[in-house]
């Protein structure tokens, strides 16, 4: 029953500086991400200072990962986190007061987004896997050559020791 109690309750908030320190992303970049729709606008203090949640921090890490490790562009990442947002909203907003058709449409929309993403990811996986196999094949070829050479060297060694 306190489903949205812990959503709103005493979860810690951080100012931008701290978030920057913790995530290794500059303040400037955090604002930039917000501007680009990668981060939902965080809460603000009365004076206008941004207040990030733990969740936001996690998200920033996620973004970095997608970017650095997987080479997605920011706009691709935007699509991903947007779907993520919808998803969270859907789960959080368990309001049966909404019209059912509306909620249905919502679900389909999210499904669509997810499907598109999955497509992209699966294609990438497929191609990368292929590439990996090629690389492995090459490696074994080279390794073989190398052992041949090593053997030849041993031979030489043996001969010279006579």
Partner DNA sequence: TAGAACCTTCACGTGGACGACAATGTTGGT
Partner DNA sequence: ACCAACATTGTCGTCCACGTGAAGGTTCTA
The structure tokens listed for 129 are 């896997």
Name the minimum Å distance from CB 160 to a second copy: 12
70 binds DNA (CB under 7 A): no
Q: Work out the angle at residue 137's Cα, subtended by the Cα atoms of residues 136 and 138, and round it to the nearest 5 degrees.
A: 90
Q: CA geometry: angle at 37 spanning 57 and 107, to 5°?
A: 90
- Does 75 bind DNA (CB under 7 A)? Our answer is yes
Using the rule CB under 7 A, is 47 a contact of DNA? yes
Whether 107 contacts 138, CB under 8 Å:
no
- When asked if residue 49 is in the footprint of DNA (CB under 7 A), the reply is yes
DSSP 39: S
Closest CB to DNA among 73 and 89?
A: 73
Given DNA, a second copy, none, residue 45, with its beta carbon under 5 to 8 Å by kind, binds DNA
Among 28, 98, 124, 141, binds DNA (CB under 7 A): 28
Residue from 46, 97, 99, 161 binding DNA (CB under 7 A): 46
Q: Is 105 an interacting residue with respect to DNA (CB under 7 A)?
A: no
Which C-beta is closer to a second copy: that of 11 or that of 143?
143
Alpha helices in the chain (DSSP H): 5-8, 16-23, 27-35, 54-64, 74-92, 100-160
């Amino acid at each position: 029953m306190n489903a949205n109690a812990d959503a709103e309750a005493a979860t810690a908030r951080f100012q931008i500086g701290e978030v920057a320190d913790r995530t290794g992303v500059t303040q400037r970049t955090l604002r930039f991400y917000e501007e680009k729709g990668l981060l939902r606008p965080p809460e603000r203090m009365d004076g206008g200072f941004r207040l990030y949640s733990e969740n936001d921090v996690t998200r920033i890490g996620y973004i970095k990962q997608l970017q650095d490790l997987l080479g997605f562009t920011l706009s691709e990442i935007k699509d991903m986190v947007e779907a993520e947002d919808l998803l969270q909203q859907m789960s959080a907003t368990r309001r049966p007061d909404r019209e059912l058709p509306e909620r249905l449409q919502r679900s389909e929309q999210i499904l669509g987004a997810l499907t598109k993403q999955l497509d992209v990811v699966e294609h990438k996986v497929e191609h990368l896997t292929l590439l990996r196999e090629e690389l492995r094949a090459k490696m074994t070829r080279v390794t073989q050559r190398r052992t041949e050479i090593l053997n030849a060297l041993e031979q030489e060694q043996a001969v010279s020791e006579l």
